[in-house]
Every structure is written in structure tokens, then in C-alpha cells.
Chain A
Amino acid sequence: MTNILRLALPFTIWLIGFSAIYALQGLTCSRHWPEELEPRLALIGGAAVFVVIQGLALAALLALQSQSRFVQTAATILGTAALAAALWTVLPVLTITVCG
């Protein structure tokens, strides 16, 4: 089962991170967001944390080798792809109007 989780982990982290950034964006534009906090800074901070966690997940997959070579290869592919996906999907944080 650990090996199945190893395969599922990278993109599950991506999905959680991606949803969290979207939720954070919703929050920054909502009535609950304190005016003194700059929304874009919060979003950039959130995105950075997301990318770092995704990178750490990849590092962990590489460091903690599976006994199954197949699982190890597939997990490495997925980990790398998920890191690339994370970088690609948070790019708009840097360029697009936050609440417009």
C-alpha cells in the first residue's frame, strides 16, 4: 500500500496546494480579508510554500527509495511532473490582477 501512496502523493500534493492557493485567492477578495494585508504578497507567499512542499516531496521520493524499481521510476516521473505543474499553475499569481 505504501507504494500505491508513493505514486499518488506528488499530484495529490499538487491538488491540495492548487486548491489552497485558489481558496486563498477567494479569501483575499472576500469581506473577511484584513485591509492591512497585501493580497498579492499573501498569495506569493502561499505559492512559494506550495512549490517548496512540492519540491520537498520530490526530494523525499528520491531519498526514500522503494524496493520496487517500477514504483521508484514512476514515482520519480510523477514527482518531477507535479513540481513542474505546481510552478506552471502558480505563475498567474505574479502577473494577473488579484481581485479584478
Chain B
Amino acid sequence: MTQKPPRRGTALRLHRQLERIWSPDPRFRGWLTTNNNNDVGRLFLAVATLFFVIGGLLAMLIRAQLATPGSAFMGPEAYNQVFTMHGTVMMFLFAIPFFEALAVLLLPGMLGTRDLAFPRLGVYGLWVYIFGGSAVIVAMLMGLSPDGGWFMYPPLSSAAFSPGIGADVWLLGITSIEVSAIATAVEIVVTVLRYRAAGMSLSRMPIFAWYILVVAVMILTAFPPMILGSLLLETERALGWPFFQVENGGDPLLWQHLFWLFGHPEVYIIFLPAAGMIATILPVMARTTLLGYGWVVAAAVSLAVLSFGLWVHHMFTTGIPHLGLAFFSAASTLVAVPTSIMIFSWIGTLWKGRVQMKLPMLWLLGFFATFVIGGLTGVMLAIVPFNWQVHDTHFVVAHLHYVLIGGYVFPMIAAVYYFQPLLTGRFHYFRLGAVAFWLVVPAFHITFLAVHVVGLLGQRRRTWTYDEGQGWELLNLIASTASFVMAIGFALVILDIGITTFSGLRGKRNPWGATTLEWAAPMPSPAYGFASIPIVRGRYPLTDDPDLPQRIARGEGYLADTSRNRREALIVTTTTGKPLQVAVMPGNSALPILLAVVTSTSFLAPLVQAYWLSALALVGVVIVALVWVWTTAPRQSEGLVDAGHGARLPVAAESPDPPGWWGSLFLLVADGVHFGSLMFGYAFLWTVAPNWPPPSYLVPTLLPVLLALGGAAALAAGPRLAARAVATGHRTALALVLSLFGALSLATAAASVMLARQDPAGHAYDAALWLLAGHVGFHAALAVIMLGYLALRRISGHGLRVGEARIVSLWADFTAATGLVALAAAWLPGTFA
């Protein structure tokens, strides 16, 4: 950093200036307009914890019911709702949002930046999650819960066997929460890749950032199949499109494929952030560095991808050919390799260090003792004959709780205790946390070891009661009693953290002696995070330069100049961390919560058959999104700005690859996987659904084919020409008209498919054609809106930026490519039949 001696009072003056620029509105409405990661993360964390409490109470109801044979505590209907909601709440409303909350809170500090890449997107994700989650809980309180299990298998979840709106609440509520998760994932990926401290190359990134990057990419690729599955099931329930009805060309196994294409990676989406926390906390507790950093990164990457190749191991009893079973059994056993690398890296880290038995360490030891057992029972379940024996028994219940509570909840509690001083500036002084640990961990093992055994003895899961005389009574009673002790322990943890947050002792900075950047910020972290963007020269910046916190506070890093009076962050090159651009961050706004309101309305209105309201809300989504983009786009060119240290950098929004381009790229990854899942579903039905071929195939005529080919070419070329015209100062009108023609031609070709097959409820083939055409039509409409935005910018005299045109070009390319593939898939069977 610069060698000039600092002036007295520089740090305080800088702090005041940055506070003025970055602080949210101090009034109550500040909670609705803030987009600061500290506020968003805290709210996320509080809401996720509330859902954990609700999920835990539901678990207690389950154990109360199963404590004795023939219990009259609950009837079968209530029990079905309770276990469905327990799984749903824990998986969708607690586990994923909780680690996202920690990522939102901690990532900017760890990476040495001031906020996440798209602060407003984070707020939007938060509120969509709150609205969607609340809808699911309100439905439960009204007795309208889904009762088909958290996996919602048809035909059980179909309109015939699950009448009422319970299943619809699940499908629409959960889909909106998945949209929220995808929004946060895009934000996280772009932040990790682009928003880091100067000099923070890939090899210097904190290990948690690696894990969370991997997980965010997994969310982008795992959630779309589930969103598609929900869309298919909801259209079947609401409109009668028979995707899962065998008699009309559907196949219920398609749901299982789509669900587990999401569901299995989901387990690793939950485990890997916890693993990232372990890899972060353990070296600090052992007063050493992580053993085998590169190996752990490689293990995380391989585990993430492997997890996508295991989905069929949840379907071993569905009659899949033996060769298919063998494929997935082999792939499932592979997972043990990267997991073991991580476990041995952590054990090695403990071995080479000097362990401090502090509270976070205690919970990490709880993790080791529990997760390894869960992993081993996982390998047992990967073996097909054993899997067949214990399928749908309580053995599987015990296995997944060992993995999820041992592998996720315990490390997350360790993380909360570890980061509490950083987030609140306070330390715990009661020994309540240790007492809670000694209640939770032994009680957990007693509960779920008993559940393992009762499962091996044959007790079925998801069954509301059991008869006497099967040898299950004592084990169930032990499990239930211990589970209540465990619940008391968890309540103590929450109480302990609550007490400490509001009345703990204030303490010194970096109490654990950590080596990563987040501990260089003041405690608790101010809204701006760092007074200046740090410069790092190693993987452990606080070890390399113990004075770094003071230097940052004095403004000796990048972007310490506040004279531009706006929120700024540094964008760096992905590999080397070299300063590249200056990002201007948006200020406080109510737009994200407004967009969340209209988005959630469009999702949830169909629950009460208010389709008109859903359509109206969708128009609202478009309008608010346009206002959002319009108000954040720069009005005039600034050229290069001074970033400090002699660096003059372009403003990101004026560059050819602005943050929006990166965000679009990763959003399109999710969109591409959604489209791929749609193609997979269509191919699956075509290949194995019993009532295929359909009575007749669609035979294309020449005009729609020409429209599709010409439209795709024009749509791909138009925005590209527009971007080139902007760069060279030429007129863009012709290029925009060409693009518009392309989008409309593609939409017309898609409409021709729908017009030719007017009864999507007749056969799954027709329903699939409507969905393919719908994909093309939706994206063509999106392209038209984007082109309209560009035209409006040009007409209003705001001028177009190359980056904006390139963003539209990216979407247009995707629309053209997937449009052609979708229409080819619709037309080819009829052409060759």
C-alpha cells in the first residue's frame, strides 16, 4: 500500500463520509429500502431461524405421534401434513436461505469488497423468499398444507388424489422460493468472480468463497429441473395437461427424474457451505493453516459435479434396468472419494495445529462424530441390494438426519458462534452454548441411532402409526424422548445467541486470531464494510500484514476518495485479482420489495383462481423491472475515474462487459438448464412413456420453418450489429428493427405450433409441444421488451452503451438458439414419422 504517512484523524473522517454515503435510512422504512448486505443478511438469518423453529416444532409433533404404538395424538391426515411440512420447511425455508444469509453477510468482508455485486437483487431475493415462505406457513395454519410428502410424487399429488390447494401451495410457493435462491446465486457468483480485494487471485481466495462459488453454480443448475417439474405438475393440476398421466401419454417417473435431478444435488448444496465453514473455522481453532487447500478446492468442485450424476439412486426401486442401477450405484460410491479428501484435510489440519477447545470447535467435533456415520450409511444405501431392503424405512430417515443435522446444522451453529463477534461486536459470557452442545449432540445420537435400528427392523417411514408387538415400542419411545431433549438443546442455542446479540460483552477486533479479511473490518461491520479496498499479497492477509486493518481504515487501499459522493466498489480480473473497473453501486430503494410483491402476487394469485391478477402482476413485474434498470443505468459518460494508487479505471457500466452482462450470463446458465430439462422431459416421454406414439404427429409446413430460421438469424444478428454501431458511433435503428423482426418471426413460428395442436390436455405430446412453443414465445417476448428498452434509451436521448447492447445480444443469442432447437424438436418427429 502507499507509503505516505497518514494525516491525523484520516480514519475517522473517512468513516463519517462513508457512513453518510452508505448508510440506510435510519427510520423504520429503512428496513424496506435498504440494500446493504449487513441488513439483508441479518433479516435473511432471522427469518431462516424462525422457519427452523417452525420446522423443529413440526418434528416434535412427529416424534410425539411415533412415541407409542397406535397413538391417537394425531390422525393420518394431520400426520401427512406435518411430515410434509417438516421436510418442506427444513429443506426449502431453512437450510438454503440460512447459508445464503451467511454468504450475504460474510462474503463481501471475506473477499475484501464493500457489498455484493447486485445489492438490489439480494433484497429482491430476500422478499420473494419471505412472501413465498409466509404463504406456505399461512396455508399450514389454515389447515391447507400439502400432504403428499416434500417430494410431491404424482399420481399422489395429482388433482385426482390430492384435491384442494395444498399441493398448489407447495408447487407455487416453493417455486417462488427457488426463484429467490437463483437470484441470490447469480449475485454470489458474480461477486466471487469479480468483486474482490486488489491482488486477490484465485489461489488467494478464502476457502469459503470457493465453496460458496461452487454451491451458487449448483443452485443455478440444480433448481431449474425442479422449477420445470413444478410447472408441469401445476399445469397438469390446473389445466389438465397430462404430463404424468399414463393413460394420456404421460409418465409419473418423469416427475421423479426431474425432482431428484434437483433433490440429490440439493443435499450437497446444503452440505458444501457447511463444509466451507468448517474449512474456514477449523484452521483458526487449530491455530494453523488449512492442509491441502488446492486438494480441498478440487474435491469441492468434483463433489459438486458428481452430485448431479446420482439422482437415480433415489429411484432404485422403480423398476429401472439393472445396468442403470449399476451405473448409479457406481457413481454414488464415487462420492466418498472427494468427501474423504475433505475429511482427511480437516483431520490433518487438526493434527498439525494446536487445538483451542472453544465453543465453535466443540460443535465442529460434533460434526465429525455425526457426519462420518451419516456418510458411511450413505455408502451402504448406494449398494442396490441393501437399498432395496431398507427403502422407505426409518433407516433412510436416520441416514438423512445424520447427514443434514450432522453435516449442516452443527457446522452452521459453529459458524454462528464463530462469527457472532464480527456480526454483533459482542461475545457470549454464559456457558449456555456448551450446555446446549452437551444436550443436543448426545440426544441426537440416541434419537437417530434408535431410528436407524427401528428402520432395520422394518418400520416404514411416512406412516402415521404402528402396531404393538413388533419390537419397535421401546426404540421409538427412546427416540422420541431423546428428540425432546435435543429440542431443548436447540432452544438453548437460540436463546444463548439471542442473549449475546443484545447484551453480550463488547470485545476486541479479531478475537480468534483469524487470518482472513473479514476480520479486518470494524466490529460490527459498518454499512460500507471497508474504508478502502484492501490490497492483498497472500492467502492469509492478516498474517502477512498485521497492520492491514489500520491501513484500510486510513484509506490506504483503493477507492478511499469519497469526493464523487456515491457508493463505489472495485471490480478485478477473475484469475489474478488485478483492478479492472469501478462499479457504482445503487442507493437505497423500494423498487426491490415492490418487484418482490408483484412477482409473488403473480406466483400466488393462481392459488385462489385469480388468474387475471396473476397476469396483471406479471405486467407489473415488467414495468417495475424496466424502471429498476432505467434508474440504475448511467446518464452520461465519465471516461476513466481515479481509483487510487495511480490507477485510472473505467466505470463498469460503461465497459463492454458490465456487471449486468455477467449477471445475465449466469442467469442464462439457469435458463439453459431449464430448457435442457424441458428437452430431457420431452425425450423421456418419447422414449419410454407407455402410451406413445401419440395418435398423430405435428407435420410442419414450409412457412413456419422459414420464419423460424429467418427469425433466429435476424435475432442473433440484430443486437450484435447494434452493439457494433454503438461502439463505432453509427445509428442503431436498423439493427434494432432487424432484431424486432427476428423476435416476432420466432414468436409467430411458435404460435403456429400451438395453432396446429389446439388441445394440449389431450395427450402429453401436445402438452409438451405447447410447452416448447411457450418457451420460444416467452423468450421472444422478453427479447421484444429488451429491444423496446434499448429503443427508448435511444429516443429519450440517454444514449446506448455497448454493454447494454451486448446484454441484449446475449439474451437474443440464447433465444435464437433454444428457439431453433425447441421448434426442431417439435417438428422433427412428424417429419420423419
A60 to B294, CA, bound (A): 20
A68 to B308, CA, bound (A): 28
Does A61 make an interface contact (CB < 8 A)?
no
Contact B202 A11 (CB under 8 A): no
Q: Which of A74-89 contact B (CB under 8 A)?
A: 74, 77-78, 81-82, 85, 88-89
The number of residues on chain A lying at the interface, defined by a beta carbon within 8 Å of a beta carbon of chain B, is 46
- Chain A CB within 10 Å, residue with most, of B302, B308, B576: B302
Q: For residue B297, which residues in chain A have a CB less than 8 angstroms away from its CB? A: 7, 74
Binary interface encoding of chain B residues 294-338 relative to chain A, with 1 for a CB under 8 A from any of its CBs, else 0:
110110011011101100100000000111101110110010011
A8 to B304, CA, bound (A): 10
Q: Which of A50-100 contact B (CB under 8 A)?
A: 67-71, 73-74, 77-78, 81-82, 85, 88-89, 91-93, 95-100
Minimum CB–CB distance for A79 against chain B, Å: 10
A26 to B320, CA, bound (A): 9
Contact A15 B308 (CB under 8 A): yes
Contact A77 B309 (CB under 8 A): no
Contact B294 A77 (CB under 8 A): yes
The A/B interface has a contact count, at CB < 8 Å, of 115
A2 to B252, CA, bound (A): 40
Contact A29 B321 (CB under 8 A): yes
Does B201 make an interface contact (CB < 8 A)?
yes
CB contact between B334 and one of A4, A26, A89 (< 8 Å): that residue? A89
Q: For residue A22, which residues in chain B have a CB less than 8 angstroms away from its CB? A: 312, 324, 327-328
A12 to B301, CA, bound (A): 10
**Residue in chain B with minimal CB distance to A3:** B575
Q: For residue A4, which residues in chain B have a CB less than 8 angstroms away from its CB? A: 193, 202, 574
Minimum CB–CB distance for A17 against chain B, Å: 10
Q: For residue B304, which residues in chain A have a CB less than 8 angstroms away from its CB? A: 11
A88 to B327, CA, bound (A): 9
Contact A77 B305 (CB under 8 A): no
A30 to B331, CA, bound (A): 23
A95 to B203, CA, bound (A): 43
Contact A3 B330 (CB under 8 A): no
Contact B305 A14 (CB under 8 A): yes
CB contact between A70 and one of B203, B309, B321, B327 (< 8 Å): that residue? B203
Does B46 make an interface contact (CB < 8 A)?
no
Q: For residue A14, which residues in chain B have a CB less than 8 angstroms away from its CB? A: 305-306, 309
Q: For residue B338, which residues in chain A have a CB less than 8 angstroms away from its CB? A: 81
Does B828 make an interface contact (CB < 8 A)?
no
Contact B327 A18 (CB under 8 A): yes
With contacts A70-B294, A89-B331 taken as known, whether A97 is within 8 angstroms of B323 at the C-beta atoms is yes
Does B687 make an interface contact (CB < 8 A)?
yes
Does B688 make an interface contact (CB < 8 A)?
yes
Does A37 make an interface contact (CB < 8 A)?
no
Contact A81 B337 (CB under 8 A): yes
A23 to B681, CA, bound (A): 12
Contact A12 B324 (CB under 8 A): no
CB contact between A81 and one of B193, B217, B298, B327 (< 8 Å): that residue? B298
Contact A73 B294 (CB under 8 A): yes
CB contact between B302 and one of A30, A81, A91, A97 (< 8 Å): that residue? A81
Q: How large is the interface on B (under 10, 10 to 19, 20 to 34, 35 or more residues)?
A: 35 or more
Contact A3 B305 (CB under 8 A): no
Q: For residue B295, which residues in chain A have a CB less than 8 angstroms away from its CB? A: 77
Contact A26 B309 (CB under 8 A): no
Q: Which of B265-321 contact A (CB under 8 A)?
A: 294-295, 297-298, 301-302, 304-306, 308-309, 312, 321
Binary interface encoding of chain B residues 486-507 relative to chain A, with 1 for a CB under 8 A from any of its CBs, else 0:
0000000000000000000000
Minimum CB–CB distance for B262 against chain A, Å: 15
CB contact between A92 and one of B309, B323, B687 (< 8 Å): that residue? B323
Contact A15 B323 (CB under 8 A): no
**Residue in chain A with minimal CB distance to B307:** A15
Q: For residue B312, which residues in chain A have a CB less than 8 angstroms away from its CB? A: 22
Minimum CB–CB distance for B311 against chain A, Å: 10
Contact B575 A68 (CB under 8 A): yes
Minimum CB–CB distance for B310 against chain A, Å: 10
Q: For residue A100, which residues in chain B have a CB less than 8 angstroms away from its CB? A: 321-323
Q: For residue B202, which residues in chain A have a CB less than 8 angstroms away from its CB? A: 3-4, 68, 70-71
A98 to B320, CA, bound (A): 11
**Residue in chain B with minimal CB distance to A76:** B298
Contact B298 A15 (CB under 8 A): no
Contact B330 A98 (CB under 8 A): no
CB contact between A93 and one of B301, B323, B692 (< 8 Å): that residue? B323
With contacts A1-B574, A98-B321 taken as known, whether A68 is within 8 angstroms of B330 at the C-beta atoms is no
Contact A11 B305 (CB under 8 A): yes
Minimum CB–CB distance for B246 against chain A, Å: 15
Minimum CB–CB distance for A26 against chain B, Å: 6
**Residue in chain B with minimal CB distance to A27:** B687
A86 to B60, CA, bound (A): 44
CB contact between B201 and one of A68, A77, A85, A98 (< 8 Å): that residue? A68
A74 to B293, CA, bound (A): 10
**Residue in chain A with minimal CB distance to B333:** A88
Q: For residue B306, which residues in chain A have a CB less than 8 angstroms away from its CB? A: 11, 14-15, 85
**Residue in chain A with minimal CB distance to B217:** A8
CB contact between A91 and one of B330, B683, B686 (< 8 Å): that residue? B330
Q: For residue A81, which residues in chain B have a CB less than 8 angstroms away from its CB? A: 298, 302, 337-338
Q: For residue A29, which residues in chain B have a CB less than 8 angstroms away from its CB? A: 321
Minimum CB–CB distance for A44 against chain B, Å: 12
With contacts A21-B327, A68-B201 taken as known, whether A15 is within 8 angstroms of B687 at the C-beta atoms is no
With contacts A4-B193, A11-B305 taken as known, whether A92 is within 8 angstroms of B688 at the C-beta atoms is no
Minimum CB–CB distance for B443 against chain A, Å: 38
Minimum CB–CB distance for A35 against chain B, Å: 16
Q: For residue A32, which residues in chain B have a CB less than 8 angstroms away from its CB? A: 686-687
Residue contacts A-B, CB under 8 angstroms, 13 given? A3-B574, A7-B297, A8-B301, A14-B305, A15-B309, A25-B327, A30-B688, A31-B692, A68-B203, A68-B575, A71-B202, A81-B298, A88-B334
A residues near B (Cβ < 8 Å) are 1-4, 7-8, 11-12, 14-15, 18-19, 21-23, 25-27, 29-32, 43, 67-71, 73-74, 77-78, 81-82, 85, 88-89, 91-93, 95-100
Nearest 6 interchain pairs by C-beta:
A70-B203, A92-B326, A11-B305, A77-B298, A30-B687, A96-B323
B residues near A (Cβ < 8 Å) are 193, 201-203, 217, 294-295, 297-298, 301-302, 304-306, 308-309, 312, 321-324, 326-328, 330-331, 334, 337-338, 574-576, 683-684, 686-688, 692
Task: With A25-B321, A77-B294, A89-B309 given, name 15 new contacts (CB 8 A).
Answer: A3-B575, A4-B574, A15-B306, A21-B327, A25-B324, A26-B687, A32-B687, A68-B203, A70-B201, A70-B202, A82-B302, A85-B302, A92-B327, A96-B326, A100-B322
